[in-house]
Amino acid sequence: MSFELYSPISGTLRHLNTLADPVFAEEIMGPGFAVAPENDRYVKVCAPTDGTLTHLLPHACAITRANGQQILVHLGIDTVKLGGEGFSSIRNLGDEVSAGDPLIAWDTAPARNMGYPLEVIVVVLCPPASYLEHLPADCSPIEALMPGARVHRASEES
């Protein structure tokens, strides 16, 4: 079974290996993609998939799909150091969400002022025997809710 992950924001699609953080660039947490936001100061980050909001921090959240697969949405790099400044949760822990539902409102100014990278990162956490197919090429423009990647089980033919 395969499923698509949708872009949580509009911007420029980036493959993880282009990111400054080795945890993401080396896919230590799992495969995924990132989207560099347009020059908007205020960004509304949306769910890239359907599921239950099972982890919620000011700068990140995880959605658990019906099949148990967890998807991480991480706002920026090193933004944990902001102590929540600039982030406002729209949803609550335990909420059921659909792809496209707003999750977090982000005022990027505090992160931008600190020089932190602003990519919104989507990662398939510890994927069980699966692989990720990037849909748009690196550095392609992407709109919120456009497919960013497709996740396949390794045993599938595509």
Question: What integer pLDDT is reported at residue 151 of this predicted model?
Answer: 84
Q: How many CB atoms lie within 10 A of CB 28?
A: 11
* Residue 134, token pair as written in the block: 């990037």
Our answer to whether residue 55 is catalytic in this structure is no
Q: Where are the domains of the chain?
A: 3-153
Looking at residue 128, what is its pLDDT? 64
Give pTM, 2 decimals: 0.92
Mean pLDDT split into 10-residue runs, the chain, 158 residues = 92 94 94 91 97 98 94 98 98 98 98 97 81 76 88 60
Selected catalytic residue, list 15, 55, 59, 74: 74
Q: Which fold has domain 3-153?
A: Glucose Permease (Domain IIA) (2.70.70)
CB contact set of 139 (below 8 Å; sequence gap of 6+) = 12, 13, 14
Q: Which token pair is 121?
A: 């990162």
Q: Comparing C-alpha atoms, which of 102, 101, 107 is closest to residue 84? A: 107
* pLDDT for position 158: 40
SS3 107: strand
Residues in contact with 54: Cβ distance below 8 Å, sequence separation at least 6, in sequence order: 62, 63, 64, 70, 93, 94
Residue 158 CA to residue 152 CA, distance in Å, equals 8
